Structure 1
């Protein structure tokens, strides 16, 4: 099999977690699932998998590296996945082995129990997975993968409950961290969100009696499903015979949805918490222009994630919006392992400056985040080489100073630029005329909280900015991670 390589120049962004999708009540569920996963491809490009159930063939599965379009549009694959019930998963490895050899880590995972089989797909990260894994191995469990998600299957196997739905509840009560889950039995489609609702999950209807679960509403749109509602934090839905049954298996908790979903992870055409992701990102640009104005000639996005915020910045400031940087749309994230000479071209393989527009201009560049800062330096160099008079960076999120342990692949803290430098030091290191980040209060205002962040009871998980972790990262603390000192 040809290896799948992550794009070598995308290592300066926080990586999307995973995308999950499920459908019940349609004759070709695996095809619907493949379409849903295609819409969620931005959440994971490393690998994907689908499990389906058909009474005549039982459970069937296919797991592949690479894009959905390259694997789950082929007749010889889809014909092996018959049935009216299916779930799927697209992956970026946030836990477990990384690389082309770890096919065993590709979800959904499947287990055969005394009352029948079940498959499960998980978006998020379990913060007590290492401790659970040790306990389960000591009690005789044999793990097939290095993924934290497999713990759920083993916990289900050890439950004494009499049906799969109750075993899932048992298992998820033992885990800590962030999880949105889709699961399936022979007759049921199941969806669950963790008590804090850190990761998203939505419910959609197809016609009169078919249903779908998806990480985002864009997954429903592609199959023509009607968005019904979000699965609520701490809620479990079981869909069978065209009916949706809802329960609350966890103790009540105040929700802490990941605010970076609004900033970067989710597609701009999705709806989160009743808000358009695009509109929130545009509002971030408006807040940025209010908080960090600067005299300039052009507002240019760093494509594509900086585009809505750049539009908002332009609208608020009155400075013309322009496409000063053009993205190579055919690059994708797969790339032949590059030679050193090609690698040295760096970001130029992905982005190119519109020289005729930029020359002699004072340019505001709007990007979604700064992680290591290496890409920001390269983009600044390209803009200056094209003849820009000044370069000003405006960042549509606060400084990323803390790693995420809830399903986002974040560098260790020492490699986060904002963890080791002040804003002025970052400006000097990147080499721009000015550098400003939106404040955390400004980000909250853009996300619909008129009074900004309530420090005593914040609405969102913003740990990557604030160091305020709503769920203790037990495994990382055991490894020596130092939490932010109480102020």
Structure 2
């Protein structure tokens, strides 16, 4: 409980996901162009780098760079990337620094030919695997755990590749969704608990893999199904086949995909993300009724839950905060003054709607608390009589080690201070978190299929 409310240590206002992956097997299709569109749809999962690898059948060509998808790939790049199989990646780093060498896909020449790998997730046994592989002669060129996967696959080069992948999975501990390609085949792999998402779709005669179904929708592809935990999908000239690798006793899908990470138009585990978020708002209304005049969301993360809360409470929903969608992603905030200015550049209250009103503001989660503090200050300056902050998820009490950008308790305000002290810090009249029971009840009979370690400290994969 060290520190004072005005001295929260560094960290993030929101969790950040590590990355998104995409793959397509499409003889006769413009696979590079389709991969570009797929990555564009997954841009919310990573904004630091983007890349793709394309095979023409005899070799794999890779192109990647730092920045957004539209910044990395120009039309002339895509025209030169011709082939029948492609994989792509957008990255936000949680393991390894932000540098071009760590951008994916990673490509290597092995005893089985060329391999390209794109990885979403985070391994928890990175150090031990790196030491082991280094002792056996492996040379590492990046600081990412994804290169460990590539080295392990090369180590099992005497096995057919599907079996090599299965052998590799037995040594990997943590979260991973992978798309892997050779010169002529495409593979999709999901970790034994299914922590990170991966789905399978079809576009005409082409087969597509993606972190989220929204990438399929952009292409006009049909969602076939989710890749099962521990499953290896094999796509080649013979069609789609499946090999079951290691599988845990029960799934542990990341529940924060539904709370914040995934796009609201995606379907995960058979459920629409927007519908789940709206239901969380209704559950929040059932648990916490506040005497107020208006409900407003924090855009865009709180929009669906705010709609559900307004529906459940009978209070009017208004767009009291307007988001500037043209603020650059790399806005630097080195001082307290510039951090506050950064919030004001992104969000601006509608004073005529808020003046003299008792306001309920809804957000999906509260991680660090600094952004919420600035927003509440803006609402009060706009004339709000009362500001009640309701959170559509439980307090985040524990770090995530499976591919989300938080690995220290000091970054989590709810882990440091009790609710009343957090309320005073952010400056609201009421602070309420949705209960864990209320959160899980939104998932019905599937409620036990999710990783809730960030709320409970019960980690499905031992650290």
The TM tier, using the shorter chain, reads over 0.9
Partner of residue 183, structure 1? 180
Partner of residue 135, structure 2? 138
Q: Tell me which of 448, 452, 463 is aligned to 1:462.
A: 452
Partner of residue 65, structure 1? 66
Partner of residue 421, structure 2? 425
Matches within 5 A, 1:238-317: 238-241=234-237, 243-317=239-313
Q: Tell me which of 7, 30, 33 is aligned to 1:31.
A: 33
Tell me the CA shift for residue 131 of structure 1. 0.8
Secondary structure at the counterpart of residue 276 of structure 2: helix
Matches within 5 A, 1:63-462: 63-72=64-73, 74-97=74-97, 99=98, 102-207=99-204, 209-241=205-237, 243-335=239-331, 342-449=338-445, 458-462=448-452
Partner of residue 44, structure 1? 46
Root-mean-square deviation (CA), in Å?
A: 1.7
What TM-score comes out, normalization by structure 1 length?
A: 0.90
Q: Distance in 2 between matches of 1:428 and 1:388?
A: 17
Partner of residue 472, structure 1? 462
The answer to whether the Cα contact below 8 Å between 2:162 and 2:232 also exists between their aligned partners in 1 is no
Tell me the CA shift for residue 338 of structure 1. 7.7
Secondary structure at the counterpart of residue 315 of structure 2: coil
User: C-alpha offsets along residues 329-375 of structure 1, whole Å, 9 cap, x if unaligned?
Assistant: 11141347889864451311111111111110000000111111111
Q: Distance in 2 between matches of 1:62 and 1:397?
A: 39
User: C-alpha offsets along residues 199-219 of structure 1, whole Å, 9 cap, x if unaligned?
Assistant: 100000011x21000000000
The answer to whether the Cα contact below 8 Å between 2:333 and 2:342 also exists between their aligned partners in 1 is no
Q: Distance in 1 between matches of 2:358 and 2:263?
A: 30
Q: Distance in 2 between matches of 1:132 and 1:10?
A: 28
The answer to whether the Cα contact below 8 Å between 1:182 and 1:192 also exists between their aligned partners in 2 is yes
Q: Distance in 2 between matches of 1:352 and 1:10?
A: 23
Tell me the CA shift for residue 165 of structure 1. 2.5
Q: Distance in 1 between matches of 2:142 and 2:14?
A: 26
Q: Distance in 1 between matches of 2:288 and 2:155?
A: 55
Tell me the CA shift for residue 242 of structure 1. 5.3
Q: Distance in 2 between matches of 1:343 and 1:160?
A: 50
Tell me the CA shift for residue 449 of structure 1. 4.2
* Gap runs ≥5 in structure 1: 1-8, 474-487
Q: Distance in 2 between matches of 1:182 and 1:59?
A: 14
Q: Distance in 2 between matches of 1:109 and 1:428?
A: 47
User: C-alpha offsets along residues 362-411 of structure 1, whole Å, 9 cap, x if unaligned?
Assistant: 00000111111111111110000000000000101100110000010015
Of stretches 366-375 and 243-252 in structure 1, the one that deviates more from structure 2 is: 243-252
Q: Distance in 2 between matches of 1:321 and 1:179?
A: 39
- Cα 1:296/1:242, change in 2 over 3 Å: farther
Q: Distance in 2 between matches of 1:348 and 1:411?
A: 28
- Cα 1:449/1:389, change in 2 over 3 Å: farther
User: C-alpha offsets along residues 292-340 of structure 1, whole Å, 9 cap, x if unaligned?
Assistant: 1101110000000100000000001000000011100111413478898
Q: Distance in 2 between matches of 1:78 and 1:439?
A: 48
Q: Distance in 1 between matches of 2:248 and 2:138?
A: 31
Tell me the CA shift for residue 250 of structure 1. 1.1
Tell me the CA shift for residue 80 of structure 1. 3.0
User: C-alpha offsets along residues 142-169 of structure 1, whole Å, 9 cap, x if unaligned?
Assistant: 1010001110111112115333222222
The answer to whether the Cα contact below 8 Å between 2:363 and 2:390 also exists between their aligned partners in 1 is yes
* Gap runs ≥5 in structure 2: 1-9
The answer to whether the Cα contact below 8 Å between 2:193 and 2:247 also exists between their aligned partners in 1 is no
The answer to whether the Cα contact below 8 Å between 2:324 and 2:347 also exists between their aligned partners in 1 is yes
Secondary structure at the counterpart of residue 311 of structure 2: helix
Count of residue correspondences = 453
The answer to whether the Cα contact below 8 Å between 1:60 and 1:80 also exists between their aligned partners in 2 is no
Partner of residue 483, structure 1? none
The answer to whether the Cα contact below 8 Å between 2:192 and 2:245 also exists between their aligned partners in 1 is no
